[in-house]
DNA sequence: CAGGCAATCCCCCTTTCGGGGTATTTTATC
DNA sequence: GATAAAATACCCCGAAAGGGGGATTGCCTG
């Protein structure tokens, strides 16, 4: 009897593609494309394991993991994401998510991960441990504007509503240092105001 | 004879999944996972069409499109991306890229797009044109926070990067009037900074 | 007509931003 | 060990934003 598997990813092609790829190994009991459908679908199909995208519409993967854990003791949860941010990994481990796979994995790695988790183990993609913090290999925007990791970090904090002083305090930096970073960011992005920065950050998912 | 197709996407699972999905319809002559391999692979396999991710390692999709156009007159290029940024669409059209598909398309849309392009046409995902117009949302937003028409007008202008002085000038108002409106807006939304206002506005489609 | 609301305008004051510099130390890379 | 890139820090200055108060006009509605 093949293990029962539910796929939750809003990228239809990816979702469908993964299904095709591994339907020899697993019984794909459901596919959902929106966060709000995951819980109901889990209820209906009772999968052994859920492949869960983190960046889902309506409800994100983290919130879903919390809810799934509440309602379904035995369902294994595996995140499948393109994000390698350490804070994502951290949060996943805190939520006792069973696995974390990257979207640039191979079919073999995917199956290896799922099988490991089904056998009661954990599987966090080995590539996650060899990453330099805050360096986003596959972030087109960061490359396009040659932003440094520190600059991206500060952009995120500005996006989250922090001002220069708060950022300096949080990062244990001098006020002037953060000001310098801001100036460099503005220069690189050819902008002049924090409001433009917010727009840039939100529109580019930084 | 099935059309020859090359897939370029660094997300192995996606790349592989798409291959599985459409290998009935097309002859998948190659798969690459890094920007630097695209040109050589195009040379070797001579595909009719390339499905090209924009956010590739080493060389991004735009630069590749330029190079491909130079070296291979007849190869059709279709971007397959998760990004809906208008400036991406613009740039794609300027580069005379034949198609632009979204990663949350269905298998059917994918095939429709590829076939259109193979028949000499263009195919830009219809969803790209209907991004935005959602009057329900901002209605809700306006009601929820009981914003006046004038306030909404000013929020839009702030979102578009204008400062208090520019807004005053444009609306033939005194500086202090606009400042007062800003204060009232901040009070109603329980925020303190323009950056938070931008987030509110963008996230609620104001 | 009274009360509420929207829209307009003003003063005072402090903090934060944005733009112009310059300079030192770490880190990575060749 | 030289070089380049990144990260750190400081100075000066004016402009803009933010926060507190108050006030007037007009308009609609009960």
Write out pLDDT tens, residues B13-47: 889 889 988 999 999 999 998 888 899 999 999 99
The strands making up A27-32's β-sheet, listed across from edge to edge, are A27-32, A4-8, A49-52, A76-81, A99-102, A123-124
3-state SS, residue B174: coil
Higher pLDDT, B9 or A58: B9
d(CA A82, CA A64): 18
What is Dmax (Cα atoms) for chain A? Answer: 63
* Domains contained in chain A, number: 2
Residue A121 belongs to domain with CATH number: 3.40.50.2300
> In the A/B pair of chains, how many CB contacts fall below 8 A?
115
Distance from CA of B74 to the nearest CA of A (A): 26
User: Are A47 and A97 in a shared domain?
Assistant: yes
User: Are B59 and B112 in a shared domain?
Assistant: yes
User: Are B97 and B152 in a shared domain?
Assistant: no
User: Are A165 and A192 in a shared domain?
Assistant: yes
CA of B148 to C1' of D28 (A): 15
Is A104 within 8 Å of B11 when comparing Cβ atoms? Answer: yes
Domain that holds residue A185: 140-203
| B121 at interface of A, judged by CB pairs closer than 8 A | no
CA of A162 to C1' of C12 (A): 27
d(CA B160, CA B197): 11
Residues of B in contact with A198 (CB under 8 A): 195, 198-199, 202
Q: What is the mean pLDDT of chain B?
A: 86
Distance from CA of A172 to the nearest CA of B (A): 23
Q: Which residues contact A58 (CB under 8 A, 6 or more apart)?
A: A34, A35, A36
Q: Which pairing describes strands B4-8 and B27-32: parallel, antiparallel, or unpaired? A: parallel
d(CA A177, CA A63): 35
Of the residues B128, B157, B175, the one at which a domain ends: B128
For B31, the enclosing helix (H) or strand (E) is: strand B27-32
Is A161 within 8 Å of B193 when comparing Cβ atoms? Answer: yes
The per-residue pLDDT for A179 is: 95
Beta strands per DSSP E along chain A: 4-8, 27-32, 49-52, 76-81, 99-102, 123-124
Of the residues B73, B98, B128, the one at which a domain ends: B128
User: Are B25 and B115 in a shared domain?
Assistant: yes
User: Are B145 and B87 in a shared domain?
Assistant: no
- Nearest chain B residue to A55 by CA distance is B82
Is A195 within 8 Å of B82 when comparing Cβ atoms? Answer: no
Of the residues B128, B159, B182, the one at which a domain ends: B128
Looking at A87-101, A120-134, B94-108, B166-180, which range is the least confident one? Answer: A120-134
- The single-letter DSSP state of residue A5 is E
pLDDT at A79 over 90: yes
Partner residues linked to A79 by β-bridges: A52, A100
């Amino acid at each position: 009897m093949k293990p029962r598997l539910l796929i939750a990813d809003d990228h239809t092609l990816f979702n469908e593609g993964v299904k095709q790829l591994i339907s020899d190994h697993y019984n794909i009991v459901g596919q959902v494309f929106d966060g709000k459908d995951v819980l109901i679908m889990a209820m209906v199909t009772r999968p052994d394991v859920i492949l869960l995208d983190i960046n889902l519409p309506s409800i994100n993967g983290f919130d879903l993991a919390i809810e799934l854990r509440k309602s379904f003791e035995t369902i294994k949860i595996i995140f499948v994401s393109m994000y390698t941010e350490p804070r994502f990994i951290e949060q996943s481990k805190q939520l006792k998510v069973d696995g974390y796979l990257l979207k640039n994995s191979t079919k073999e790695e995917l199956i290896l991960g799922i099988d490991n988790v089904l056998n009661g183990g954990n599987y966090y993609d080995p590539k996650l441990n060899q990453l330099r913090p805050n360096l986003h290999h596959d972030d087109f925007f960061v490359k396009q504007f040659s932003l440094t990791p520190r600059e991206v970090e500060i952009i995120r904090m500005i996006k989250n509503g922090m001002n220069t002083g708060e950022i300096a305090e949080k990062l244990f930096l001098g006020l002037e240092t953060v000001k310098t970073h801001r100036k460099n960011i503005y220069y690189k992005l050819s902008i002049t105001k924090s409001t433009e920065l917010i727009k840039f950050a939100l529109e580019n998912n930084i």
